[in-house]
Structure 1
Amino acid sequence: MMIETLLRELADEHIEYDWARPTEYQRAGDLRVTSEVVFSCPNPPEFSPCGDVPPGSHPVHVGFLRRQDRETGEEVTDVSLVFVPLAAPEVIAEAEFEDAIEDWQPLGPDLAFLWDSAAMDVLPEGFEDHVTAELAVPGPDGRGRAWADFLVEPATGLNVLAFPVSSESATCLAGRSADGTLVALLMVAEV
């Protein structure tokens, strides 16, 4: 099974409205994990980790759509799905996905970060403004970018993956195999 096929199936299953489902998918790089994975707004008033992801570097994929802004008429990129596979797509396709936490994760209003909780303590001054400016630069195709990767602690490799969103919250789902092993994390923006 191809990863994009799996992502489309997960979007169909976990994103309620057709208009909110991604139309494009990309590999967004890797997330360096040393403690706990968090999907949240840049300065979360509180947060919950999204599952027991093992330390290491893990691939991250995003699903997004492009829409016309009602006020400006400009094309806007919205990420509605973030996926961290920890096993082969065939294994993940058989997994059961359940809430990884009992509460929603705060996002937005325009940004979401996927990061290790240790990265929260090492962000440089003005980081959020830097991220916003970087995401405003068109991608290689001349269109809005769906993600940007920022190294925030070179000694450990801690990074932050940032995404443009138009949602104020997200659900974090843990995909587990029949024996309970975590095989994937799926973050879905709530609309």
Structure 2
Amino acid sequence: MKKKLLLFLMFLLVLGCTLLTSCNKKPKNANDIISYLKNMESYSTEMNMDIKNDKQTINYKARQSYLRGGGYKLELNKDRVFIYKSDDNIYISDKNNGIKYVQSKDFDEVLKLCFIGEYIGLLYTNEEIKYSIEKINDIEYVVINLFIPGSNKNINNALLYVNYKSMIPQKLVIYDNQGKEKINITYSNFLPNVKIEPSEFLMT
């Protein structure tokens, strides 16, 4: 009887340890995080963006959202709305002046870089991806180092900081070809796979 009771208690102990481990399971490696980012159907986030040049730092506060098949939406400083569609155009609404217009994506080399989706796309094609683990303020991050193709010498590569435990992007830093920081973006209130209506990406 005692032997059966002991075996039963051991079984409960093993089961409890297994459940506890699975509840606090972290991704096995960077590939888990890459797969998670690639498979996001939608997201919304607040962002703070600093663009640096030799004379000054320009700050933008914005809200961005993404829907697979719908596009990207960027509400910049509550003054302008940019909608990026798959037709290679940007639909812009200037709320201050009540003006709406369309321009080609080719004219934008900076704002599009704030979208996580831009880097998800690079993950499919980029052969120069490097990974590292970095601890900042007791939080572990997977840091994804991506080369950004193009001829702009001020935009060479980016470091995307993704929380190792939650797999949520939290910071993006872009450097020029001399290794100098040019753009620093922090994301907050990042909501993955949130419900977003396709009508959000229509110019009204």
TM-score of the pair, normalised by structure 1: 0.24
Relative contact order (C-alpha < 8 Å, sep 6+): which is higher? 1
Higher Cα Rg, which structure: 2
Determine which structure has the larger helix proportion and give its number: 2
